Amino acid sequence: MLELRDVNFTIQKGEESVNLLDRINLKVPAGHFMAIVGPSGCGKSTLLKLIAGINVESEGTIHWQGRNLSTEGDLEPAEIGYVPQFSIAYDHLTVEESVESAVRLRVKTRRRSEFHDLVDRVLMQTGLDALRNRPVKVLSGGQKRRLSLAMELVTDPVLLLADEVTSGLDPKSEREIVKLLYELSRKHSRIVVNVTHSLANLELYDSVLVLHEGRVAYHGQPRALDHYFSVDEAEEVYPRLAKRDAEDWRASWEKHRGDYYEALESAAKATAAETGAAGDGIPLDQAAAAATPGAVAQFFALLFRRCRIFARDGGQLFLQIAILLGFPVLVILFALDGVGEVRRLSEAVPTTVEEFQLEKEIVEHNLNLGGLVSGLVMFQVILLTLMGSNNSAREIAGERLIFEKEKLGGVRPATYLASKVAFLGGLVFVQSFWMAVFVQKICHIPTQSFVPQLALLFLVNAAMTSICLGISSMAKTADQASLLSVYLVGFQLPLSGAVLALPKVAGWLTRPFISAYWSWSGAMNSLEPGFRNAVDKVTETWLAPVPLCFAVLILHLAAGLFVAWIGVKKSRWE
């Protein structure tokens, strides 16, 4: 049995405390199908999130099988299924792949046959077997609701919560979904709670909970609804609610609830006897929750799924290929014939006009070479920071709601973040290696050793990818994350001091936070001595030692990952 005792949920609006739910008391027996209805903004979804454990009650207690969930341990992730209002499947996967992904993340199976049998059973149970190879993005609204249910049923939960899963559906599809939920409540003594604004199909529910401004106005059998509210049909309940204060409705219900609960309990016993006789009832205390897979299994499931989505996302794949091929070409356009060689001045003192002119040409040539090399490296660095921004700015923010749902289902935040790091690490390596090798092969940037230059380019890309991943984990929307990341890249060039030297104080204040500076500075200090001297002549910016550049870039990388870790741990449903 699920029981709520004097549950309140309060939020702060400025200095004022607002009760979204006020003294909620209700009991829901095993094998029960309950609707939560009420006008918009009455607290239906808020109550469901409290039961699911997404929100935490401000006062009161929630009990499961007599156990206080706040003090005696919450439900296991496999014991509860929560179907939110939004789709929890990725558009680029098929129906079958979506269910398979849910199984890999939430259910530990011993054999491949057991894995496939579970997928097949859930698809058959929800009427999706004929659609198993259809991409999610072409499904209708009703089919997506069925898929969301299927993905929750992989653990065979004893408590199934559905939030507005019939919203926006045509009457036929709505009835099919409600009937499916009804049938699910008759399996394994499962409690099914459905939040809905619609008052159609109430006859399929065992009970209806009516909320009004966060208070219980009624909880009883659907057939008694008309009598209690003194209306001719259910559609007149909402206008009737508006005619009295919410506190009056709550007080009236508290006065009459005993009689209605007596009838409700009798009906529940009859339902339990009926389902038990049919062989479908399994006592909740005997239900075995599915074992959650280990961190390694979840990591590979998340990583392979991300790679599959990436390979099927034509727009993103085209953009990555265009960037990978186009950005290095932009760099080499400025040195198609290579950088050239530093010319040495004669040790003899010039004595003729021709010798003075030759010396002037050599100095100008070397200055041009220094400026060219400095510019080429900075161009590489800035383009790699732009790649890093594109890599990860939307990576978490773009799928935040799905991740929150999967986290509720048992996906570990650390495992999720590790899968992102592994996927993005592959992108960073390919981008940085190709940029460094391609530019070096054509432009012949004169470094003493190619390895430090490659490492510095890799680190600046990795650092910006990591920092933007942190931004993505903290941002409210994907667009917000993208905008902030673009701004961050935009400040890299002017604040690096590579083109125009910053005032000394400003340079020391901003330099520690500019990844592009440390990569460029390290590359300049790894040049051959002649070119290093030429660069000194064209820039007034202090060049940091190579080991310090490596240390700071690694620090940037670690800082980004730390922020990302904080972000993925934080709950962000809204």
For the record, the structure tokens of 446 come out as 């004169």
Q: Which of 169-178, 418-427, 445-454 has the highest mean pLDDT?
A: 418-427
Question: What are the residues whose beta carbons fall under 8 Å from the beta carbon of 57, sequence distance 6 or more?
Answer: 7, 8, 9, 21, 50, 70
Q: What is the pLDDT of residue 285?
A: 45
Q: What is the pLDDT of residue 347?
A: 56
Structural domains of the chain, ranges and CATH numbers in brackets = 2-279 (3.40.50.300), 295-569 (no CATH)
3-state secondary structure 7-36: EEEEEEECCEEEEEEEEEEEEECCCCEEEE
pLDDT over 60 (residue 31): yes
Q: What is the pLDDT of residue 66?
A: 85
Q: Helix, strand, or coil here: 42?
A: coil
Q: How far apart are CA 190 and CA 158, in angstroms?
A: 5
Q: Which residue intervals of 333-449 are DSSP H helices? A: 353-392, 400-408, 413-443
* Tens-digit pLDDT profile for residues 328-365: 998 888 776 666 665 565 555 565 666 567 666 666 66
pLDDT over 80 (residue 505): yes
Q: Helix, strand, or coil here: 426?
A: helix
- The β-bridge relationship of strands 215-220 and 59-64 is unpaired
pLDDT over 50 (residue 526): yes
Compute CA 268 distance to the chain's CA centroid, rounded to the nearest angstrom: 40
pLDDT over 90 (residue 169): no
Residue 550: phi and psi, rounded to 5, are: -60, -45
Q: What is the pLDDT of residue 325?
A: 92
Q: Which residue reads 């002017």 in tokens? A: 494
Q: What is the pLDDT of residue 374?
A: 81
pLDDT band at 286 (very low <50, low <70, confident <90, very high): very low
More confident residue, 433 or 74: 433
Query: Mean pLDDT across the chain, nearest whole number?
Result: 89
- Sheet strands side by side (includes 215-220): 80-83, 159-163, 191-195, 33-37, 207-212, 215-220
* Tens-digit pLDDT profile for residues 355-408: 567 666 666 665 676 677 888 888 999 999 999 999 999 999 999 999 999 999
**Are 58 and 24 within 8 A, CB to CB?**
no
Q: What is the pLDDT of residue 349?
A: 59
Q: How far apart are CA 462 and CA 519, in angstroms?
A: 11
- The β-bridge relationship of strands 215-220 and 207-212 is antiparallel
More confident residue, 500 or 476: 476
